[in-house]
Amino acid sequence: MASKSFFGFLQDVRTETTKVTWPGRREVMVTTGLVLLMCIFIGIFFVISDQIIRVSVGFILGIGN
């Protein structure tokens, strides 16, 4: 396998890519939307968590308003 030429490798890659089932436009759009939605939810979760921790630490240390 190690003695295979570069062009043989490229041929193998080309053969394997023909076996791939590529997603359609609709599937790509749906999964992209879901990823963006999850990023927004996770971002909101971390902002809220950070604020809760900040207020808690400030209250415990007595440096809050």
Regarding predicted confidence, which is higher, 4 or 16?
16
pLDDT at 64 exceeding the cut of 70: no
Residues 6+ apart with CB under 8 A from 55: 64
Buried-exposed string 19-39: b where 16+ CB fall within 10 A, e elsewhere: eeeeeeeeeeeeeeeeeeeee
* DSSP notation for the chain: -TT--HHHHHHHHHHHHHT--PPPHHHHHHHHHHHHHHHHHHHHHHHHHHHHHHHHHHHHHT---
> Which pLDDT tens digit goes with each residue over 5-45?
888 889 999 999 999 998 999 999 999 999 999 999 999 99
